[in-house]
Chain A
């Protein structure tokens, strides 16, 4: 099961998977657009920098998809019945996201409303963040 070739199934080369190609295409396209815009826009540097930032983001993603996560869907070409990846930990209930969001929202409002909201917000946020991280760590 771990060796697709043993099952006589033709498996596409996933060293440069579709996911990576997708981001690569975005990066190349934006590089083209950004360069055209750079030449003709006569120093409209906001758009130029935003477009080049998009190029960088896309290329980083393409690199990441090629080098780091190529194994994540190694068996996706197999025509078996299956349930997908069963090795990932997927919790079905947790109260930490709610508390973390509460902390985030209260803190953000505190920026504008005042310290009396900001300080409790930060406390809830830090408490929930710690709980959120520890929950993730404890389950292993």
Chain B
């Protein structure tokens, strides 16, 4: 089945569109590879490396903030700079790091996992990467303008973000960046949806796709539904600032609250857009390192779809305190999301249950993800209750909550993905010992930093404050949090060393170092252009490679008779 197929005789000319390639194409290298290679693996790596650099930058901004907050009074930065720091920290982490990193994983892994040669639109893929990089840089360039970067918070509430309260080029560049990132995201999402819907290999029905691919389908559809809203909202803010329109201007008949509705209609699904890909990552990791099929696969797919669908109906839970929203509707919708999320938790536990769990670094990060994400999840239910949210919103409790979801949840997922697929990406394994050092520093630092912030928020510390008074009593816990942040900052160093070390003298990984189950492990590491020169194993379940390796140990619906025989 390696011969070129004929075009089905529906068109005018029934002839092959592709000639047999005479010789395998040579890989580009260096700058040319970065700028002109449309191979999905190259674009995916570009995405991930760029996003990771932005991650380190935004992490440094956070460390500066924590250093300032370690003590009452202004020590390192004034309130003006502090406001720029948290605005850019949030904007970069959410828009320029987490989501593009996920798109990088999607670019690299989705075609491999569904047995395709490339993404559906390789050139548009490369285009969206470069628009992304341009958008991210536009935003960051605010720091070198005369008035500094944008300083109105990552959700840019009007009227604070209008041209009177936030003049200056930094704010304009932030808007430009948001619009560009929106366009880039839409192009990427479109590409993923079309790829998954039209390029799957034979036998790869929708319900045989790996969970990661499913999650990317859900995420991409969400992106297509909500990113245009953000781009439109940003465009209207731009016209308000520059052309004198008054969409958000209360003094001239506009409504500031419109911005909040539009922004959160994007902003809440965005949180799930950020975290769902990493749900997918840890699902794959749990299954492989437990030597088990994904437990309750179909239930998990439906849970993911319902999270995606429900997330579009909950935007105003960020706006309870405005007094302008239908509290019971958004309360119940938000709490309902806990149900499919709970289902996913139990499915993950069920995947590991009875398994043979191997604590590779990737698996450790995935388990760490589960442990911290449950805290982020239950505090989300608490925040969903309007009666409690009136106290908790805009306090450090919220800061702690979303860091447990995004910094604990998603970033642990990022590292799980890095340790899991590194051998596939570069053909070498990261060092496991250094990986565990990285994990434990990260885990301890993370919990130290953010757990105390729950308590700070309850005690009454508002978010986004550059300073607090000695009398407020917030000092001791802020010191703890800052120490934790330092540990968290240091935790990246073993990883960077590990990456460098592996690059210099890592051991070759082979095609399938983890006893993988899905198709990306059925080709060489890294895969050549075209991905599967040797052909693909037949796809009869969501674990084609497993079925090939262990033909007599397929997944069972009821109790597994083979396992009973083996253990007795």
- Is residue B130 contacting chain A, with contact meaning CB distance below 8 A? yes
A111 within 8 A of B: yes
B:1-29 near A, CB below 8 Å = 1-2, 4-8, 10, 16-18, 25, 28
**A26-B221, A87-B17, A93-B38 are contacts. A40–B326 as well, Cβ < 8 Å?**
yes
- Cβ-defined contact, A54 with B225, below 8 A: yes
With both beta carbons as reference points, the residue of chain A lying nearest to B203 in the complex is identified as A79
Whether B207 contacts A18 by the Cβ 8 Å rule is yes
Of listed A1, A23, A90, A111, residue having the most chain B CB within 10 A: A90
Please name all residues of chain A whose beta carbon is closer than 8 Å to the beta carbon of B39 when the two chains form the complex. 92
> A71 at interface (Cβ–Cβ under 8 A)?
yes
B134 within 8 A of A: yes
B325 engages A19 (CB within 8 Å): no
With A and B bound together, what is the CA distance between A98 and B43 in angstroms?
Answer: 12
Q: State the total of A-B contacts with C-beta under 8 angstroms.
A: 224
Does any Cβ of A come within 8 Å of B316's Cβ?
yes
Q: How far is the CA of A111 from the CA of B242 in the complex (A)?
A: 10
Tell me if A86 and B35 are in contact (CB < 8 A).
no
A95 touches B326 (CB 8 A): no
Bitwise interface map of A from 1 to 44 toward B, beta carbon under 8 Å scored 1, else 0: 11000000000100000110011011001100100110011101
Cβ–Cβ < 8 Å partners of B49 in chain A = none
- Which of under 10, 10 to 19, 20 to 34, or 35 or more describes the interface residues of A? 35 or more
Q: Does B285 contact A (CB under 8 A)?
A: no
Give A13 to B207 CA distance when docked, in angstroms.
Answer: 15
Q: How far is the CA of A140 from the CA of B135 in the complex (A)?
A: 33
Contact (Cβ within 8 A) B202 A79: yes
Asked if B202 and A84 make an inter-chain contact with CB atoms under 8 angstroms apart, the answer reads yes
B26-64 CB mask vs A (1 if < 8 Å, else 0) is 001000000111110000000000000000000000000
Residues in B127-145 with C-beta less than 8 Å from chain A: 127-131, 133-135, 137-138
Contact (Cβ within 8 A) A83 B207: no
Given A30-B312, A104-B183, decide whether A69 and B201 contact each other with a Cβ distance below 8 A.
no
**CB proximity to A under 8 Å, residues B225-254:** 225, 229, 238, 242
Is A37's CB under 8 angstroms from B329's CB?
yes
Q: Name the interface residues of B286-337: CB closer than 8 Å to any CB of A.
A: 305, 309, 312-313, 315-316, 324-326, 328-329, 333
B400 interface hit (Cβ, 8 Å):
no
Contact B8 A82 (CB under 8 A): no
Partner of B28, one of A51, A93, A112: A93
B326 touches A42 (CB 8 A): yes
CA distance A90 to B128 in the complex (A): 16
Q: Within 8 Å of chain A (Cβ to Cβ): is B73?
A: no
Instruction: Tell which of A12, A78, A89 touches B18, judged by Cβ atoms closer than 8 Å.
Output: A89
Known interface pairs A96-B123, A112-B175; A77-B225 also in contact (CB < 8 Å):
no
Task: Pick from B16, B115, B134, B312: contact of A101, CB below 8 A.
Answer: B134
Interface: B539 (CB within 8 A): yes
User: Is the CB of B367 closer than 8 A to any CB of chain A?
Assistant: no
Write out, one digit per residue, whether chain A residues 47-91 have a CB within 8 A of any chain B CB (1) or not (0).
Answer: 100110010011000000100010111111111111111111111
Tell me the minimal C-beta distance from B250 to chain A in angstroms: 15
| Interface segment, one of B405-413, B434-442, B530-538, B555-563 | B530-538
Instruction: Note all chain A residues with C-beta closer than 8 A to B25.
Output: 92
Is B74 part of the binding interface, using a Cβ–Cβ cutoff of 8 Å?
A: no
- Of A47, A72, A83, A86, chain B has the most CB atoms within 10 Å of the CB of A83
CA distance A23 to B305 in the complex (A): 11
Residues in A neighbouring B36, C-beta threshold 8 A: 93-95, 98
Q: Is A123 part of the binding interface, using a Cβ–Cβ cutoff of 8 Å?
A: no
Nearest-Cβ distance from residue B386 to partner chain A, whole angstroms? 15
| CB–CB B37/A97 < 8 A | no
Task: Determine which residue in B120, B130, B179, B180 has the highest number of CB atoms from chain A within 10 A of its CB, and name it.
Answer: B130
Option from B183, B197, B312, B324 in Cβ contact (under 8 Å) with A73: B197
* Given contacts A2-B8, A37-B326, A105-B180, A94 and B123 within 8 Å (CB-CB): yes
Give chain B nearest CB distance to A109 CB in angstroms. Answer: 6
**Would you call B273 an interface residue if the criterion is a C-beta within 8 Å of the partner chain's C-beta atoms?**
no
Check B198–A85 contact: CB distance below 8 A: yes
Residues of A within 8 A of B38 (CB): 90-94, 97
* Interface residue tally for chain B (C-beta within 8 Å): 89
Q: Give chain A residues whose Cβ lies under 8 Å from the Cβ of B133.
A: 101
Residue contact A80 to B203, C-beta cutoff 8 Å: yes
Instruction: Say whether, besides A54-B225, A81-B1, A100-B127, A111 and B176 are in contact (CB < 8 Å).
Output: yes
Residues of A within 8 A of B238 (CB): 111-112
Which residue in B137, B313, B326, B540 is a CB contact (below 8 Å) of A51?
B313
Give A97 to B117 CA distance when docked, in angstroms. Answer: 20
Partner of B122, one of A22, A37, A90: A90
Q: Which residues of chain A are near B198, meaning CB under 8 Å?
A: 69, 72-73, 85
User: Could you tell me if B124 and A113 are in contact, using CB atoms closer than 8 angstroms?
Assistant: no
Residues of A within 8 A of B37 (CB): 92-93
Residues of A within 8 A of B536 (CB): 81-84
Interface membership of A102, Cβ < 8 A: yes
A91 and B532 alpha carbons, distance in the complex (Å)? 16
Q: Are A72 and B117 in contact (CB under 8 A)?
A: no
Cβ–Cβ < 8 Å partners of A89 in chain B = 17-18
Asked if A29 and B123 make an inter-chain contact with CB atoms under 8 angstroms apart, the answer reads: no
- Given known contacts A72-B197, A83-B535, A101-B134, is B180 in contact with A108 (CB within 8 Å)? yes
Can you list 22 contacts pairing A with B, beta carbon distance less than 8 Å? A25-B305, A25-B309, A30-B312, A33-B312, A44-B325, A46-B262, A50-B261, A51-B312, A57-B225, A71-B10, A79-B538, A82-B535, A84-B200, A87-B18, A90-B122, A92-B122, A93-B36, A95-B36, A97-B127, A100-B130, A102-B130, A109-B138
User: Contact residues of A with B, CB < 8 Å?
Assistant: 1-2, 12, 18-19, 22-23, 25-26, 29-30, 33, 36-37, 40-42, 44, 46-47, 50-51, 54, 57-58, 65, 69, 71-98, 100-102, 104-105, 108-109, 111-113, 132, 135-136, 140
Closest 6 CB pairs of A and B: A105-B134, A101-B130, A112-B172, A97-B126, A97-B127, A84-B201
